Amino acid sequence: MSAGATQATLGLDTFKDIAALAYRESGLLLVPEKLLMVQSRLRHRLRALQIHDFDQYASLVCSDPGRDELRFMISALTTNVSHFFREPHHFDLLTEHLLPIFRKKIATGQRIRIWSAGCSNGQEPYSIAMHLCRTEPALARADFRILATDIDPNVVAFATRGTYPEQQLTAVSEANKSGFFEQAPNNAGCLTVQDYLKKIISFRELNLLGAWPMRQTFDAIFCRNVVIYFDTKTQEKLWPRFKEALAQDGMFFLGHSERISSPDSFGFSTIGPTAYKADKQLSAIRHN
């Protein structure tokens, strides 16, 4: 790293400009207490661009020619921490509430769709696919697909490859390792997801605050440890959008530190810890 980029200091006014841009573009809430974190995370972008101060960098990302760099900035500021089979009670609820519906859909050839919104490095959608295909093997041959999206193009690319160091697979059982993974070619100490499981999942870049191109509804949506970075106003704009994206009686999962305040006012009913169901009766009451 160049000396200038290494020693660059982020001033409060410039931080406010960057924070306002991050909020406007991605809903990311950056309070002044995060200034040193932002400074640390963006210094490598200054190095990559051979820029020596944050004022110049802020001018770039706030300009039309800086739209591509803006994506890299949001990526640098986004925390991408995930684990396989995180919050296992959600998988239990998925089995209890939706698997009977899925079996009926399999028998009649209907589509089954799940969305992992904010999929990070891919552990969540792969966990969902492994859990459901092991519980109901017929899903692997059914019209079953998972859409996995994230705002960060780097993690989308990583997740698409589906290759993980073995130390990241400690929560994956030996049965799941042998059934769904294989030795990564030319990458000792890593396992890669087998192709037939990869084919179930489509990884795409998506900003939750932008347009959603999906036209059909989902049987379940996982959006865990994403909205915690949004303020209440932004969250409350998202709840109705998620509700409309769910099929009748579809399930919606949040992270352990996230909640929908007054879920019934957004057409949801609570069915477990940070787990909700799209309730059509509540929707009717709300809109009549």
Residue boundaries of the structural domains of the chain: 3-77, 88-287
Report pLDDT for 174: 95
Q: Considering 71, 86, 150, 224, which one is annotated as catalytic? A: 150
Report pLDDT for 286: 46
Clarify whether 41 is annotated catalytic.
Answer: yes
Amino acid 135 reads T
Helix axes 35-49, 54-61, angle to 10 degrees: 80
Report pLDDT for 2: 53
Q: Judging by DSSP bridges, how do beta strands 268-272 and 275-278 pair with one another?
A: antiparallel
At the topology level, CATH places domain 88-287 in Rossmann fold (3.40.50)
Q: Are 193 and 55 in contact (CB under 8 A)?
A: no
Give kind and range of the element (H or E) at residue 70.
helix 67-77
Q: Which tokens in the block code for residue 274?
A: 């940070």
224-265 per-position pLDDT tens digit: 989 988 999 999 999 999 999 999 889 999 999 899 999 999
Report pLDDT for 283: 53
Q: Are 23 and 230 in contact (CB under 8 A)?
A: no
Q: Are 245 and 214 in contact (CB under 8 A)?
A: yes
User: Rounded distance, CA 277 to CA 243, Å?
Assistant: 9
pTM: 0.85
User: Rounded distance, CA 280 to CA 149, Å?
Assistant: 26
> Can you list the residues of the chain whose pLDDT is less than 50?
1, 284-288
CATH architecture of 3-77: Orthogonal Bundle (1.10)
Which has the closest alpha carbon to 238: 218, 250, 248, 223? 223
Helix axes 54-61, 67-77, angle to 10 degrees: 120
Clarify whether 195 is annotated catalytic.
Answer: no
User: Rounded distance, CA 250 to CA 215, Å?
Assistant: 16
Report pLDDT for 284: 42
Instruction: Supply φ then ψ for residue 113, to 5 degrees.
Output: -135, 135
